Structure 1
Amino acid sequence: MYERLLHWDRDTFIYLNGLGTEAYDVFWLTSTKIYSWIPLFLIFIILFIKKFPRKQAIYKIGATVGLAVFITVLTLVVKNGIKRVRPCNDAVLKDFIRILETPSDYSFFSGHAASSWAITVLVFLLMRSRVKWAAIFFIWPLLFTYSRIYVGVHYPLDLIVGTIVGIVSGLLFQRIYYSKVHVTL
C-alpha cells in the first residue's frame, strides 16, 4: 500500500509538473516567492488595525505571527526528521520534470503549504465577522501551494500533508486565541 501511494505521488507530480509551459513560468516563479505576498500580509495587518480596537488588533496580529513561527519550526523539525528528497534533487526524476528551483533542503512536508493555509485559516477566522469578503484570502494558499509542484520542488503528498497541518494549526491557534487571549480583552 505504501509503495502504491509513493508511486501515485511520483506519477501525479510528473503529470502536474509537466503541464507547465514557459509562458507561465514567470507567474509561477513569482507566486512561489514569499516576498511576492508581502502586500497581502500588509493588507492583513491594515485590516486588523482598521476593523478591531487597538488591543484586539495587536493580539490578533501577535497570534498570527506566533502561528507563523510555530509552523516554521514544526516544518523544519519534520523535514529534518523524515529527510525526503525533493523531486528536483531526485536523480531518477531530473530528466522527466521541469525544474525551475532547486532548494537543497528536504521535501516532506511543504512549509509553503503549511504556512499559507495556517495563516489564511487563522486570519479568515479572526476577521470573518468584520470582513465579509475574507474568503478571497484563500486564493493565496491555493496559488502558493500549487506553485511548488509547478517549479518542481514538492510532491503532491508533501502539499496535501502540509495543507492538513496548516489547516489544523490555524484552527488550533484560533481555539487558543479565543480560549486564552480573547478572555482577557
Structure 2
Amino acid sequence: MYKKFGLKSLLVILVVVALMITFTDQITNVFKRGFERPRPCGVPNLVDELRFIAVRCGKYGFFSGHSSNSMSAAVFIGLMLRPFYKNLIFMLLFWSAVVAYSRIYVGVHYPLDVLCGMTFGAISGFLFYKLAQYLLKRFVKA
C-alpha cells in the first residue's frame, strides 16, 4: 500500500482511519448509554427460550459497535482502494455483513441493533473517506 500512495499519503490515511474508528466507537457508546436497550442475552424471558453462545453478555446493545466499526472500515477501505481493486469493496461489504450477522447469531444483538449499526458505519465510512480525500488533496497532492 505504501508504494501505491506514498509515505505522506499513507500517514494521512492512517490518521483518518484511527479517527474514524474512534469516532464510530464512541458515538456507538453514546447511543448505547442514551437508549439503554438491554441485549437479548440480558432479557430473562429470552434466556430460557433461546440458545446463547456468548457467556458474557454486556449491558446495552443499541446499536452494534461491531457492525458499525466493521462497516465503516469496509466502506472506507473499499472506496480508498477502488482505483486499484475494483471488486474489493464487495468482498469487504460481505465481510462486514458476516460480522453483523454473527452478533445476532451469538445472541448479543437484535436485528435492528445490527441494521442501525451497519447504517451508521456506512455513513461514517463514507464521510471519513471524503475527509481523507480532502486532506490528501489539500496537504499531500497540492
Q: Above 0.5 in TM-score?
A: yes
Q: 1:125 deviation in Å?
A: 0.8
Alignment of 1:16-31 (within 5 A): none
Q: Separation in 1 of the partners of 2:96 and 2:137? A: 26
Identity %: 34
Given the alignment of the two structures, is residue 119 of structure 1 paired with residue 73 of structure 2, yes or no? yes
The equivalent of 2:57 in structure 1 is 103
Partner of 1:81: 34
Task: Give the corresponding residue for 1:67.
Answer: 20
Greater Cα shift, 103-112 or 129-138? 129-138
Structure 1 gaps, min length 5: 1-47
- TM-score, normalised by the number of residues in structure 1: 0.71
CA RMSD of aligned residues (A): 1.3
Question: Can you list the C-alpha shifts for 1:129-177, whole angstroms capped at 9, x where unaligned?
Answer: 1223422222321111000011000000001100100000011111112
**Letter of the aligned partner of 2:12 in structure 1?**
Y
> Secondary structure of 1:94's match?
helix
Counterpart Cα distance in 1 of 2:76 and 2:58:
30
Output one character per residue of 1:45-77: Cα deviation in whole Å (capped at 9) or x when no partner: xxx324211111111122111101111111111
Give distance in 2, aligned partners of 1:50 and 1:112. 30
Count of equivalent residues:
138
